[in-house]
Amino acid sequence: MKVISTKNNLQVLHEDNHLIVVNKRVGDLVQGDKTGDKPLSEVVKEYLKEKYNKPGEVFLGIVHRLDRPTTGIVVFARTSKALTRMNELFSNRETKKTYWAVVKNKPEKSQAQLVHYLKRNEKNNTSKAHSKEVPDSKLASLDYSIIKELTNYFALEINLHTGRHHQIRAQLAAIGCPIKGDLKYGFDRSNPDGGIHLHARKLVFVHPVSKESLSITAPVPDDVIWKAI
């Protein structure tokens, strides 16, 4: 059964005066869109307002996004100073992002680097991975390794070198390994909760204000396949 995050069940992974990091559930929308559904950013604001008894509007900056059907680490900034610095860290690729994905088909190699040129299609909100540069495409790079062989699936650990639209989903689909539940990228059936088996597992970065190194890990969703990993 799908559970949407609320201020009462929010999974907070790290919280200080400048940042709040949460574990996003399937279906949580990070930022408001045309659906009009309440975004996670508003839920976090409600949580902070209640916890710290804040009058008026709560400041919360969106640092990065995760696709709606995915789960895992999302960072929000609680001050404008932290937001500016976190935006710089992400745009300069000074963060280390690790994802876990579950695929049905075994990749040809147990570990490899994937380099493609991704072209976004705004109409159907997908990205296509090309082996050579095409007009309006962007370089996309990641490396993966198989971390566990399950009965019918393979669990991969992925380190991103770039942060493109639907990058992991498009690049894995391009090597014949669409992510479990990802109909948009060629998996044959959806997951009961409408999500996909892609989880932002770990994020390592230097705190924008205290300058200490932070390593945050998000527990996997409560699901038979994730638990097997």
Summarised one tens digit per residue, pLDDT across range 154-181 is 999 999 998 899 999 999 999 999 999 9
pLDDT for the residue numbered 34: 76
* Separation between Cα atoms, residue 177 and residue 103, nearest integer Å: 6
Q: What is the pTM of this model?
A: 0.94
- Average pLDDT of 4-15? 94
pLDDT in tens, 70-129: 999 999 999 999 999 999 999 888 999 999 999 999 999 999 999 999 999 988 889 999
Of 161, 163, 164, 143, nearest in space to 101 by CA: 143
For residue 53, pLDDT beyond 80: yes
**Predicted pLDDT at 210:** 95
Tell me the per-residue pLDDT of 64-87, one tens digit each, with 9 for 90 and over: 989 899 999 999 999 999 999 999
**Are 167 and 127 contacting, i.e. CB atoms less than 8 angstroms apart?**
yes
Q: How far apart are CA 52 and CA 126, in angstroms?
A: 40
Compute the distance between CA of residue 146 and CA of residue 65 in angstroms, rounded to an integer.
25
Q: What pLDDT does residue 1 have?
A: 61
Strands 71-77 and 198-206: parallel
Q: What are the angstrom distances between the C-alpha of 123 and each of 74, 106, 127?
A: 26, 31, 10
The model's pLDDT over 178-217, given as tens digits with 9 standing for 90+, comes to: 999 999 999 999 999 999 999 999 999 999 999 999 999 9
